Structure 1
Amino acid sequence: MDANGILNVSAKDTSSGKSQQITIKNDKGRLSQRDIDQMVADAEKYKEEDEKQRTRISASNQLEGYVFNLKQTLGDVGDKLSAEDKNVVQNACDGCLKWLDNNLLAEKEEYEDQQKQLTHLCSPIMSKLYANAGTQSGAMPGSCGEQAGRFNAQGPTIEEVD
């Protein structure tokens, strides 16, 4: 097969000495230059719309992932929360999932707003959970539990060691 997609096949019958040759070309189903140019033009034309769609879907996936992460955490360590706090987080997650199902074509900003609302509601409760986990495990001041809290609030603390 050559670079143009043309296959030359030859066969020879050894007993009779007859030989035949056939050339196979892949002309059918090929796009014309006009078709290719049209596809490129369409791709450029819809590039901005495609990017907007990609960011919208990304925001939706991020919100859905956050909800399922909260639900997973609730399932894993929810028994350490009060029943009231657990219900607040569970209801917020369920409401957010229902909102996602009913608003499949929402804009990126709407997904981000839903995530901010959910974070604002659930973050203090989840912080209590992790704070309780640190004190219940007998954490000493300056231990990993406290350092993890500092990491989330301010970023990592870097100390130079000789």
Structure 2
Amino acid sequence: ITNDKGRLSKEDIEKMVQEAEKYKSEDEEHKKKVEAKNALENYAYNMRNTIRDDKIASKLPAADKKKIEDAVEEAIQWLDGNQLAEADEFEDKMKELEGICNPIIAKMYQGAGADVAGGMDEDGPSAGGSGAGPTIEEVD
């Protein structure tokens, strides 16, 4: 806060600086709360979209898919009813949802990774083979 035109007294400036400091912590708390809420919301909707993706849905057992769907719907319902919750409440809900979804998704990717790796042919191109990169010519 500056006094470019000399319109503010020293006391006015001091008062404004003190108010800015006073509200700084409140602003930071509000920012933290909004970020935590947005993170939970984004994660829930991303998980919902992920399990609705045909490529992924086909790799998930029905029970696991239902478990994620139920957890996501419950989190979204909780968000709708708790818009004014504190940051730590949003963070706790996020951990709870991640605790349900992450192991299932990780298990699915591990299973898919094993299928992909198991399908590699021995005859496939090897990394570092003679055809694995551009030919470089020395020019003087």
TM-score (norm 2): 0.70
Say which structure, 1 or 2, has more relative contact order (CA 8 Å, 6+ apart): 2
Residue type at the aligned position of 1:54: K
User: 1:68: Cα distance to partner?
Assistant: 1.8
Distance 1:33 1:130, change over 3 A: same
| 1:42 matched to 2:19 | yes
Q: 1:128 aligns with which of 95, 107, 111?
A: 107
Residue equivalent to 2:70: 91
Counterparts of 1:96 and 1:86, CA distance in 2: 15
Between the two proteins, the alignment pairs up a number of residues equal to 113
Identity of aligned residues (%): 38
Structure 1, unpaired ranges of 5+: 5-29, 141-162
1:62 to 32, 39, 42: 39
Alignment partners' CA distance in 2, 1:63 and 1:139: 36
Deviations for 1:43-98, whole angstroms, at most 9, x for unmatched residues?
Answer: 22211111111111111111111112212221221221111111110110111011
Task: Tell me the CA shift for residue 136 of structure 1.
Answer: 2.3
SS of match in other structure, 1:133: helix
The 1:31–1:61 alpha-carbon spacing in structure 2 relative to 1, beyond 3 Å, is farther
Instruction: Give 3-state SS (helix, strand or coil) of 1:106's partner.
Output: coil
Greater helix fraction, Structure 1 or Structure 2: 2
The match for 1:33 is: 8
Structure 2 unaligned spans of 5+? 120-140
Aligned partner of residue 80 in structure 1, secondary structure: coil
Distance 1:98 1:56 in 2: 18
CA distance in 1, matches of 2:101, 2:74: 13
Question: Secondary structure of 2:80's match?
Answer: helix
Cα offset, 1:39, TM superposition: 3.9
